[in-house]
């Protein structure tokens, strides 16, 4: 075989990638053995692919972050839209639903309305919890923050209430558990928050009595009248309801507490005195 006249190899892969086509020009070489360049071409290919993958990853990461920020700031608004959709569906299929199913779907709607009062309509629930219940000097972020509120209200709240309505009579025990969450909200907003805060109203109190209270009454009326619940339903449902109230709400707030968190509530979510304090500072 004739001696091979080699073309100069570029010093770095990026230059090699741009000029690799020049290696094939007859003016540069007399006889070209591509096997000599396969390792370089292979490495160039890997480098280019890694660059593309990294760009795609960064783009996906940015998009995901933006979506999560939207969810943290507007999950309760989305819940309000979902409540309208549920009410429309229940109205259209009212004759096809059992009394128990109607109550459980309306129970989910009650939760969504309750969250709207807490975080949007009045909106001061986060600031009240942090200031009144935890005596926090950072009521806009500690211990409850926007990220934790998604975990508590969406992952725990929406999921359990939806499943209780979806499975209906097939999971009476789950219905009992969610009703105990509703009952826990009535007690907390009526007694605990008002005593601790020395108030007669707090964000969430109105919907607790307008929606949760009637829902609890009709729930127990229906399961008693139609004899739907068994001893096993109560045996599972009551402890689960307590666990959801304690672990799914209180402990979750404690576990996710972080004074250095970047998930901060807006000024409108704070109590009036805290808004003035922050404004002065």
pLDDT along the chain (281 residues), means of 10: 45 48 48 59 68 57 69 96 98 97 98 98 97 96 96 97 98 98 97 96 98 98 97 97 95 95 95 72 48
Q: Which residue has the tokens 């779907």?
A: 105
Which pLDDT score, from 0 to 100, does residue 67 have? 77
For the chain, what are the domain ranges? Answer: 75-280
Which pLDDT score, from 0 to 100, does residue 27 have? 47
Which pLDDT score, from 0 to 100, does residue 54 have? 58
Write out pLDDT tens, residues 179-194.
Answer: 999 999 999 999 999 9
Write out pLDDT tens, residues 33-49.
Answer: 555 666 666 667 677 66
Which pLDDT score, from 0 to 100, does residue 50 have? 67
Which pLDDT score, from 0 to 100, does residue 33 have? 59
The structure tokens listed for 107 are 């129970």
The structure tokens listed for 217 are 């009454």
């Amino acid at each position: 075989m004739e001696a091979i006249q080699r073309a100069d190899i570029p010093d770095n892969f990026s230059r090699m990638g741009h000029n690799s086509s020049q290696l094939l020009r007859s003016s540069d070489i007399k006889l070209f053995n591509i096997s000599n360049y396969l390792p370089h071409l292979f490495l160039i290919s890997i480098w280019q692919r890694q660059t593309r993958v990294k760009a795609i990853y960064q783009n996906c990461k940015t998009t995901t972050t933006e979506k999560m920020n939207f969810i943290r700031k507007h999950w309760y608004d989305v819940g309000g839209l979902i409540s309208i959709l549920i009410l429309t569906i229940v109205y259209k299929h009212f004759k096809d639903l059992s009394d128990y199913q109607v109550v459980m779907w309306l129970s989910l709607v009650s939760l969504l309305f309750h969250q709207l009062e807490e975080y949007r309509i009045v909106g001061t629930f986060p600031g009240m919890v942090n200031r009144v219940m935890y005596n926090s000097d950072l009521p806009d972020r500690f211990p409850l923050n926007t990220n934790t509120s998604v975990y508590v209200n969406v992952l725990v709240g929406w999921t359990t209430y939806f499943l209780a309505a979806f499975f209906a009579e097939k999971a009476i025990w789950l219905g009992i558990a969610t009703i105990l969450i509703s009952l826990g909200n009535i007690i907390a907003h009526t007694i605990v928050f008002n005593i601790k805060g020395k108030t007669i109203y707090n964000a969430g109190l109105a919907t607790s009595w307008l929606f949760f209270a009637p829902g609890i009454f009709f729930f127990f009326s229906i399961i008693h009248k139609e004899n739907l619940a068994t001893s096993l339903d109560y045996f599972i449902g009551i402890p689960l309801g307590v666990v959801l109230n304690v672990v799914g709400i209180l402990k979750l707030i404690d576990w996710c507490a972080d004074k250095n968190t970047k998930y901060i509530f807006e000024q409108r979510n704070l109590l009036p005195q805290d808004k003035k304090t922050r404004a002065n500072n």
